[in-house]
């Protein structure tokens, strides 16, 4: 069964492009209308570009590409690894697509076409596609709680939509629609009742609907969203681990009734992002309200200071409210990316600057730490505290430092597609104006309004927006003033933090608007209910969360012995030579050292002796680029 997809070269947006009828407050820019031109993200994007062939080789070495080639009949052999492995290839293809949209490198297009041919050849006649299941001759959908068959489909759909938007070519989209038609004929009312244990197909189906206009893809996503929460994604029978716990799969409580996120963090946030997509496309205000309520609950109770989510290693899971251990933070890189995708969708739906603040927090402090400055090594687990002498046990332990690859390699290609598509998150707009959410040197256009952004953000808080082209009528230029940016001005007029400064006027080419955001370093404390960080402070400056790392401290000082003086000034110094150029913060503190001290002493008894010492902080994202060293975000006072 095939359908002829109405394959428009959708020019309206990158990774999430609501349809013309969607209930959204903001519209993403066309892929070509949002271009990063350097600055902070320039080297990060370049490193990500350089990593794309490196990641391909790792996908070959790990057998992911081979699985598809065996399924396609191009190679003899067996299938390697878990049934989720096709998804890593699809995420890599999505990275290739966004990278091609950015840079039009024909070599990438050739690679995309070549792999698309293999994937098309691997697809079964009826549209089904999972290389490992096919090669091993396993029964389809027999272990759906753990087989990731629809999870792989979701990532295929996202890659196919990206490829169509970036290149205008639809070969991968044809594979995706055949698979989606197969799913629509297999799952739903009166058909198979089980659900995939790992969400993402919801987001993928909605994007496929947006790209093709085929409404049954949206209807299937809508069905998957409301069918969840009744134990149908959960491993049946008894299992002493989390595998029989519906909460693990975001499957314990229907989303409309849920009051908090629980269970596996990536599953939970991917599902919530998909539910938000469905709400946007169906105009379902109740569903959108549920998604907002869940985000709000997460933000208030279950997010680490850097925006990351996930508190438990067991089940890669959210913890209870305020269960946010710095040293055992799970904070999977994929969970940060899923949260970013969710926040972006809520921003589009509502226009609420708080979600753009979240996008910023997540990008700098939860997604970016997942990758090395070289662009080629990754954290799966992002701890907020590595102890001196920490020993890495399992492969994903952050004590090892970043690694090239993982047995379960979901995070590396997820980073690659996110950084490749980064420009999509800068701004939104339409004929009536432009909203700039993230500050970076960029060329942006919405309707007939075209601007150039110049800034040294996040090191400096000055942003210059120069109009290059403008319509002969009033339009609005909106600039986000982050929630941390009290005392900001636009063209010297004070503007409140935590919203948008809106300028409505007839702009002329050459007009310049200057946003000035003061960036004093600030100390953050956690609510006392966050027991793990009590009596500590975290340090932030502008959008960045800071950390202390061993190599920046005086010789002979062990990181654990540092106490920071919260009353002393925090002095910024830009260091172009350090960690690809960072602004460090100089603080004052003391060093307490008593090698013989036991972990407990009598309350009110003599405190250990202390001597003054300078303390130097670096941006958290830059840690672990000089080998694995002790590091902490939460610093005792």
Residues with a catalytic annotation lie at: 316, 410
> Is 334 near Zn ion (CB under 5 A)?
yes
Q: Between residues 410 and 451, which has the closer beta carbon with respect to Zn ion?
A: 410
Closer by beta carbon to Zn ion, 332 or else 357: 332
How far is it, in rounded angstroms, from Cα 224 to Cα 271?
A: 10
DSSP-derived secondary structure letter, 367 = I
Residue 208 Cβ vs Zn ion, minimum distance, rounded to whole Å: 23
Which of 590, 530, 527 has the alpha carbon at shortest distance from 561? Answer: 590
Binding footprint of Zn ion, residue count (CB under 5 A): 4
Q: Closest by alpha carbon to 89, among 422, 376, 414?
A: 414
The CA-based dihedral angle spanning residues 295, 299, 301, 303, taken in that order and rounded to the nearest 10 degrees: 110
Strands 544-549, 631-632: pairing kind = antiparallel
State the nearest-atom distance from the C-beta of 95 to Zn ion, in Å.
Answer: 14
Taking the complex as a whole, how short is the minimal distance between the CB of residue 251 and Zn ion, in angstroms?
20
- Interaction of residue 410 with Zn ion, rule CB under 5 A: yes
What are φ and ψ of residue 399, in 5° steps? Answer: -65, -25
Residue number with CB closer to Zn ion (336 or 630): 336
Both tokens of residue 199?
A: 């969400």
- Please, which residue, 44 or 91, has the CB nearer to Zn ion? 91
Closest approach, Cβ 370 to Zn ion, in A, equals: 9
The answer for 425, left when phi > 0, alpha when psi is -120 to 50, beta otherwise, is alpha
Compare residues 148 and 210 and give the one whose CB is closer to Zn ion: 148
Residue 523 phi/psi, 5-degree rounding, is -100, 135
- Which spans in 228-320 are helix H? 265-282, 285-301
In angstroms, the CA 149 to CA 244 distance is 19
Q: How far is the CB of 329 from Zn ion (least distance, A)?
A: 14
Contact (CB, 8 A) for 538 and 634: yes
Question: How far is Cα 553 from Cα 243, in angstroms, rounded to an integer?
Answer: 44
Closest to Zn ion by CB, 27 or 91: 91
Residues 38, 441 contacting (CB under 8 angstroms): yes
In the complex, the smallest distance separating the C-beta of residue 412 from Zn ion, rounded to whole angstroms, is: 8
411 touching Zn ion, by CB under 5 A: yes
Residue with Cβ nearer Zn ion (155 or 228): 155
Smallest separation, CB 342 to Zn ion (Å): 15
Among the listed ranges 282-290, 325-333, 392-400, 498-506, the one in contact with Zn ion (CB under 5 A) is: 325-333
- Strand blocks (E) in 397-472: 427-430, 433-436, 442-446, 449-455, 462-469
Which is closer to Zn ion, CB of 122 or CB of 250? 250
Q: Which residue sits closest to Zn ion, CB atoms considered?
A: 334
Let me know: does 284 contact 352? Beta carbons within 8 Å: no
Q: Which stretch binds Zn ion (CB under 5 A): 31-39, 253-261, 409-417, 538-546?
A: 409-417
Q: Work out how close the CB of 411 gets to Zn ion at its nearest, in angstroms, rounded to a whole number.
A: 4
Subset of residues 214 to 243 that bind Zn ion, contact rule: CB under 5 A: none
Neighbours of 337 (CB within 10 A): 25
Q: DSSP string covering 393-411, please? A: -STT-GGG--BS--SS--H
Contacting residues toward Zn ion, per CB under 5 A:
332, 334, 410-411
């Amino acid at each position: 069964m095939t359908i002829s997809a109405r394959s428009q070269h959708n020019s309206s947006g990158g990774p999430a492009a609501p349809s013309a009828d969607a209930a959204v407050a903001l519209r993403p820019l066309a892929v070509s209308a949002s271009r990063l031109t350097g600055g902070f993200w320039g080297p990060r994007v370049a490193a990500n570009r350089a990593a794309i062939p490196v990641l391909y080789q790792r996908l070959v070495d790990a057998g992911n590409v081979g699985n598809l080639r065996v399924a396609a009949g191009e190679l003899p052999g067996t299938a390697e690894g878990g049934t989720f492995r096709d998804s890593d290839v699809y995420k890599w293809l999505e990275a290739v697509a966004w990278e091609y949209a950015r840079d039009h490198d024909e070599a990438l297009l050739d690679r995309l076409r070549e792999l698309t041919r293999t994937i098309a050849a691997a697809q079964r006649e009826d549209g089904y596609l999972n290389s490992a299941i096919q090669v091993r001759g396993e029964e389809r959908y027999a272990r759906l709680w753990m087989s990731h068959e629809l999870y792989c489909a979701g990532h295929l759909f996202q890659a196919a939509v990206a490829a169509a938007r970036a290149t205008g070519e639809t070969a991968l989209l044809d594979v995706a629609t055949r698979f989606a038609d197969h799913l629509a004929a297999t799952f739903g009312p009166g058909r198979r009742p089980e659900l995939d244990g790992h969400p993402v197909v919801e987001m993928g189906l909605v994007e496929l609907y947006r790209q093709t206009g085929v409404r049954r893809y949206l209807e299937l996503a809508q069905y998957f969203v409301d069918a969840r929460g009744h134990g149908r994604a959960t491993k049946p029978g008894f299992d002493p681990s989390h595998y029989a716990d519906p909460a693990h799969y975001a499957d314990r409580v229907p989303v409309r009734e849920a009051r908090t996120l629980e269970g596996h963090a990536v599953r939970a946030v991917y599902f919530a992002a998909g539910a938000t997509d469905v709400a946007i496309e169906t105009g379902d205000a109740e569903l959108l309200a549920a998604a907002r309520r869940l985000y709000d609950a997460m933000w208030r109770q279950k997010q680490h200071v850097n925006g990351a989510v996930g508190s438990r290693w067991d089940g890669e899971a959210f913890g209870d409210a305020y269960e946010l251990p710095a040293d055992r933070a799970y904070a999977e890189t994929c969970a940060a990316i899923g949260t970013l995708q969710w926040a972006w969708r809520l921003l589009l739906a509502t226009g609420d600057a708080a979600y753009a603040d979240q996008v910023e927090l997540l990008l700098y402090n939860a997604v970016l730490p997942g990758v090395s400055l070289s662009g080629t090594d990754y954290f799966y687990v992002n701890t907020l505290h590595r102890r001196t002498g920490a020993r890495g046990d399992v492969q994903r332990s952050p004590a090892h430092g970043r690694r090239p690859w993982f047995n379960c390699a979901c995070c590396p290609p997820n980073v690659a597609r996110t950084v490749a598509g980064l420009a999509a998150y800068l701004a939104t707009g339409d004929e009536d104006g432009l909203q700039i959410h993230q500050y970076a040197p960029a060329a942006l256009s919405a309707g007939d309004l075209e601007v150039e952004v110049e800034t040294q953000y996040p090191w400096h808080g000055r942003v210059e927006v120069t109009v290059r082209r403008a319509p002969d009528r009033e339009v609005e230029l909106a600039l986000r003033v982050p929630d941390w940016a009290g005392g900001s001005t636009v063209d010297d007029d004070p503007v409140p933090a935590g919203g948008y400064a809106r300028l409505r006027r007839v702009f002329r080419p050459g007009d310049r608007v200057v946003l000035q955001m003061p960036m004093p370093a600030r100390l953050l404390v956690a609510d006392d209910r966050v027991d793990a960080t009590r009596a500590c402070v975290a340090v932030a400056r502008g959008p960045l969360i800071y950390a202390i790392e061993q190599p920046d401290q005086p010789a002979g000082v062990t990181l654990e012995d540092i106490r920071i003086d919260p009353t002393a000034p925090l002095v910024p110094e830009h260091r172009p030579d350090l960690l690809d150029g960072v602004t460090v913060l100089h603080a004052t503190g003391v060093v307490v050292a008593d090698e013989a001290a036991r972990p407990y002493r009598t309350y009110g008894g003599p405190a250990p002796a202390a001597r003054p010492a300078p303390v130097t902080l670096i941006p958290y994202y830059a840690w672990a680029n000089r080998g694995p060293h002790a590091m902490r975000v939460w610093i005792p006072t």
